[in-house]
A and B are shown apart, each in its own frame.
Chain A
């Protein structure tokens, strides 16, 4: 075991913030005219009228259909992939296989282990082997059928346990023991703390793999321009990373590549890395001179996966009345065939566990293992959802053992604002306690907990999450987010930023900040974010980073522009810029009420003096976090906090769970656009509820068992009950006007809150997701169920 170099006890809970202020952060404003108000999202009308174009909707003249041939073996040597027959079919323009590509791809620079098309070895059923470009779907299908593939099967591993046996066949030759990544840490004095602890609980938990199931399947279109420039339209959350990967793999100068992100039909982490099919489309377009388009079927999207890792977790928690909790935790992650984000997932599987509550003693081991299944990756709440399920279930058990109310107990244990976790994560603002109080009030907790009839239950859980990571995926010194603003004499203000709006509404958020900072009507502001040729780089929509990072960059840029305009007007009015302000689309003089001017007039005046008006802004996060290896995963400029209270009914005849309501209080720092925040809370709660009750990404001998949306079940409107969101605002010094994230953090708590509610209803502890009627009915029939809190004979 490696010990962190610095003694963590010296980093104890900081009473005040010792972090130097980051000049990229703009949290100084407290009174608002646009922020906090809801306006329709700029893309809403296009979407309701069916005019919004997604990648699959795009048409280019003479476009070819791209299709992939996929492996039918879970693990095999590829002895031969012969595309020559396919190439002879009329209508087939190109057909490529693994040998056409030299570079391996992968989002994490240190773990690029995935071929564009399988070469030498296939590692999961469904792995792309060859790609064809043809005049039609049916010709392409025909061509795929003519590709001669010869496999020599190896032993395949379908579980981490299987893959880890000594001398197991290796899935990647560079990964001994099929280990993808291991982490092993101890902070504080875990063993002695357990010896001192008043009460101890433990459990072995399993979190089932799940997938994103965004409604839009993967799609990409690529075209070479006559000028030799490549244009790629793709359904991606990370256009910038795609841009980089295209340049590297195709060996093209990056400035010759243009990536366009059309409207995206949902991502949730499933579209946040460059994929082989995107590279293939570009390569085939280059080779044929024709546009090439791939649109995945639902089944192919399931095969592409990168969903939530199945995790086995051993967790032991002890309670030390004066100190807090001691935790001993081990996680085994089923990684699937490639690394994807897995290295980071392995860290996330542990790094946020020592927060939310006071946990001065924490031991953590996580191990990600390669298996012959579609690669797991990041899904909303990346790697942290699974352990939070285990922790919150055990905290519920602790409360029961101690006879404590779960809310009072959590309040007592809460880590509070301006603190630091034992593993070096610095927390700025925290509204966790407010979340506890508000959700308790709204849900009627004290009238219901342990007080409802058998079969009816209420349960609580908390969680926290990061607002972007301090250390980006690619170690580079360029800013993490950039914004450019153009101010036009027409009065139109356009903000350019590569931040990927995948439906969450980042365009609306940026427009709000722009209008707020300039003091103008949001309707004169426009956001352009789709096109890499005109938008400066933002790293993309992942890790809940966009509001904080692009938001701060936008405020910086808007502030510069405002200053330019005000300087000109101040000179005209013989006063200083400090005496001027812009509000309601007008420039005012603070001391001379009679002196004002419309914003557009001011803009024209400024242009006539300064020439073309524009400004830029950037954001880079501060260097924070511990000093040990791995300490760079987890630190975030700011953390969000959540509490869920779930209420449900167990059908005693069938074991089915009927959701009644989930009250979700979320501290997002500042709700820039409240309706969007609510939408993110509701959507997260919904996704968590699906994982708690229904969703299961399973394979049988490497073959996916639920390759469609009938078998991969997500709740319908009739299944969800009511989701009530409560916005809690504890502005963070690092957030744009104090804002933190809202897109992922409100998911986690749904799962343990539901588990704890089932316990309240029928006295059954669940250790495995999803909580299917089968296991519940079996327990009910076995006669072991009872109403907790009541004497057994009454329940």
Chain B
């Protein structure tokens, strides 16, 4: 039995846990304000709010998600808000700003934009115009050209800043951003009994952003093991001289985690991955297990020199370098029933950078991505981890190039040689994301940029 709050209503349902939340909302509950534009996570017309209760603080934190891909089973114990769950009587400030600025033309995208901005208003991120624009990076509008929406972003930021003193829930209620029933939600969610995630047998299902695209019908018939977890349980934490990243951590968790503060522009780099409502649900384990040769997180963690923990019952039944995990196209060093529990990343004085080039800069799959981490000592390269995607059937750990660089003193000639070795290690193919030749060129360019930025203080001319 899945139990949750849908707007101000308590819902109990026996529907299949892999049912897309969108179908439940529109078909079972007749809440047709939420639209279906693609059913594949690409347009944001289906965005709703997902609120998780923090049992300690009794605070409910809201995020926008694409309901077309989010499995219904994952919403147990949460508060789901659709456009119908906002002010019934009068439009709220988001809606008013959209009307005033003429930011709704055909209107089909509009409820999705409203909900994404509600997540922005209810969240605790920076209140800047830029942040307000980033909040709608997963919402496509085919009509407006976004100019009027940019004005709305400014209006909302100004309005929220004006009432900043009262950005807590009661403040937002009294300023009519959200209806009064939101006040009761924490208490009501607390009364829903917890279920133990990850029980049962079958295919693992996390955020659903791969599975519900790949096998939307089949997955609803199968028995699944839900491994998505509430925010408090998907930890990213320091653990002695390493970092632990739980497999259920989402891309947004990574983006917000202070554990990566040592990486300059970390948030900008992660914003190149999918879009806000997808990042809010897409998980690390899902990305690794999906084994896409251009999986951004796979590349990123390969280059962090991470170790992966897998096991049927517990985290550390087996632990080995992530570099050994990807065997061949979509073949993994993972036994049936084994779950990815998380990653262990060595800490240490090092530098890291992730690069991604895609046809569309945002909300796109990479043509080529790459990441590099270096440890320097006494003007020498002590250790290197370099990985690249889109250039082989697997997310590729560039082993030879990495080994070659180790122990060397960085200079232009060494980099030239490294480029040559890297070019031997890769075998890109031509596909919709670019020709083999282009991908080779791209990786070469990216490696140059890695050398330039990561060794910027070493005064080497690249």
Say yes or no for B171: interface residue by CB 8 A criterion: no
Least Cβ–Cβ distance between A762 and chain B, in angstroms: 15
When chains A and B are docked, how far (Å) is the Cα of A48 from the Cα of B275? 22
Which of B45, B104, B448 interacts with A48 by CB under 8 Å? B104
B365 interface hit (Cβ, 8 Å): yes
B145 at the binding interface (Cβ < 8 Å): yes
Q: Give the contacts of B103-134 with A (CB-CB under 8 A).
A: 104-111, 114, 133-134
Cβ contact of B99, chosen from A45, A54, A217, cutoff 8 A: A45
Indicate whether A682 sits within 8 Å of B148 (C-beta atoms), given known contacts A50-B33, A656-B357, A719-B362: yes
B215 within 8 A of A: no
Contact B140 A709 (CB under 8 A): yes
Task: Summarize B's interface: helix, strand, loop or mixed.
Answer: loop
Tell me if A215 is interfacial: C-beta within 8 Å of chain B.
yes
Please state if B37 and A298 are interface contacts (CB–CB under 8 Å): yes
Quick check: B111 and A50 within 8 Å, CB to CB? yes
In this assembly, does B282 line the interface, its C-beta being within 8 Å of a C-beta of chain A?
no
**A59–B33 CA distance with the chains assembled, in angstroms:** 13
Give the CA-CA distance A248 to B141 in the complex, in Å. Answer: 37
| Candidates A45, A502, A711, A717; contact of B432 at CB < 8 Å | A711
**Contact in complex: A685, B145 (CB < 8 Å):** yes
> In the complex the two chains form, is B91's CB within 8 Å of A48's CB?
yes
Say whether A773 faces chain B, with CB atoms less than 8 Å apart. Answer: yes
Known contacts being A682-B145, A682-B147, A772-B359, is A50 close to B84, with CB within 8 Å? yes
Contact yes or no, A49 B33, CB < 8 A: yes
B434 at the interface (CB under 8 A from A): yes
Residues in B whose Cβ lies below 8 Å from that of A676: 102
Pick the contact of B360 from A43, A53, A719 — CB < 8 Å? A719
Q: Given A49-B83, A686-B145, A719-B362, A57 and B32 touching (CB < 8 A)?
A: yes
A709 touches B32 (CB 8 A): no
Q: How far is the CA of A272 from the CA of B242 in the complex (A)?
A: 60
The verdict on A479 contacting chain B, using a C-beta distance below 8 Å, is no
The yes or no answer to B146 lying at the interface (CB within 8 A) is yes
Please name the residue on chain A nearest to B110 by beta carbon.
Answer: A47
Residue of B nearest to A664 (CB): B145
Task: Map CB proximity to B onto A705-734 as digits: 1 under 8 Å, 0 otherwise.
Answer: 110111101111111101101000000000
A679 to B39, CA, bound (A): 27
Pairwise interchain contact A683-B432, C-beta atoms closer than 8 A: no
Residues of chain B lying within 8 A (CB to CB) of residue A59:
30
Q: How many A-B residue pairs have CB under 8 A?
A: 218
A260-268, A337-345, A484-492: which lies at the interface: A260-268
Q: Which of B106, B143, B146 gathers the greatest number of chain A CB atoms within 10 Å?
A: B106
Measured in the bound complex, the distance between the Cα atoms of B43 and A13 in whole Å is: 49
Question: C-beta contact mask, B412-431 vs A, less than 8 Å → 1, else 0?
Answer: 00000000000000000000
Smallest CB–CB gap between B415 and chain A, Å? 15
The answer to whether A51 touches B37 (Cβ under 8 A) is: no
Judged by a CB distance under 8 angstroms, whether A694 is at the interface is: yes
Interchain CB contact under 8 A, B99 and A502: no
Which residues from chain A contact B95 at a C-beta distance below 8 Å? 45, 48-49
Query: Nearest chain-A residue to B96 (Cβ)?
Result: A48
Query: CB distance A263 to B107 under 8 Å?
Result: yes
Check B445 for interface membership: any CB of A closer than 8 A: yes
Pair B144/A216 contact, Cβ less than 8 Å: no
Is A254 in the interface zone, CB < 8 Å from B?
no
Q: Which of B39, B82, B91, B102 is close to A45, meaning CB atoms less than 8 Å apart?
A: B91
Q: Is the CB of B133 within 8 A of A717?
A: yes
A718 and B133 contacting across the interface, CB-CB below 8 Å: yes
| Residue A9 is within 8 A (CB to CB) of chain B in the complex | no
Q: In residues 625-683 of chain A, which contact B (Cβ within 8 Å)?
A: 653-654, 656, 658, 675-676, 678-679, 682-683
Give the residues from 74 to 107 in chain B that come closer than 8 angstroms, CB to CB, to chain A. 82-84, 86, 91, 94-96, 98-100, 102, 104-107
Asked whether A216 lies within 8 Å of B106 as measured between CB atoms, the reply is: yes
Contacts of A686 in B (CB 8 A): 144-146
Question: Given the complex of chains A and B, what is the CA–CA distance between A51 and B434 in angstroms?
Answer: 43
**Distance in angstroms between the alpha carbons of A56 and B83 in the assembled complex:** 17
Q: Are A777 and B275 touching (Cβ within 8 A)?
A: no
0/1 string, B361-372, CB within 8 A of A gives 1? 111110100000
Bound complex: CA A781 to CA B432 (Å): 21
Partner of B141, one of A215, A298, A772, A777: A215
- Cα A169 to Cα B45 with chains together (Å): 44
Question: Is the Cβ of A709 less than 8 Å from the Cβ of B34?
Answer: no
Q: From residue 240 to 283 of chain B, which have CB atoms closer than 8 A to chain A? A: 275
Quick one: closest B residue to A47, CB to CB?
Answer: B107
Among A44-70, those with CB < 8 Å from B are 44-54, 56-57, 59
Interface residues, chain B, CB within 8 Å of chain A? 30, 32-43, 45, 82-84, 86, 91, 94-96, 98-100, 102, 104-111, 114, 133-134, 136-150, 275, 357, 359-365, 367, 432, 434-435, 437-438, 441-442, 445-446, 448-449
Other A-B pairs, 5, CB within 8 Å; known A46-B107, A682-B146, A723-B146: A48-B98, A215-B106, A675-B102, A687-B142, A722-B147
A contact set with B: CB distance below 8 Å: 38, 40-41, 43-54, 56-57, 59, 212-217, 263-268, 297-298, 502-505, 653-654, 656, 658, 675-676, 678-679, 682-687, 694, 705-706, 708-711, 713-720, 722-723, 725, 772-774, 777-778, 781
